[in-house]
């Protein structure tokens, strides 16, 4: 019976890396999630930039 360490070494040796299809699928999922939450992301960024702008004005005044 193989030990856990031997199994892990075997797994890492057999691993061939991420293929092109997997990378394309991951990018597609990220784009879909970004599209679904587009309005929320835009409002969050605008809010954060607004806060940063107001704090910068306080510092430089």
Gap between the terminal Cα atoms of the chain: 72
Is the Cβ–Cβ distance between 34 and 41 less than 8 Å?
yes
pTM score, whole prediction = 0.50
Q: pLDDT by residue (tens digit) across 6-30?
A: 776 766 666 566 678 888 999 999 9
DSSP 37: T
Q: What is the DSSP letter of 40?
A: H
34's CB contacts (< 8 A; 6+ apart) are 41
- Which tens digits make up the pLDDT trace of 29-53? 999 999 999 999 999 999 999 998 8
């Amino acid at each position: 019976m193989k030990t856990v360490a031997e199994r892990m070494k075997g797994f890492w040796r057999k691993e061939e890396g991420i293929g092109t299809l997997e990378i394309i699928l991951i990018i597609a999922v990220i784009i879909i999630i970004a599209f679904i939450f587009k309005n929320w992301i835009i409002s969050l960024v605008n809010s954060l930039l607004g806060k940063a702008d107001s704090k910068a004005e306080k510092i430089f005044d």
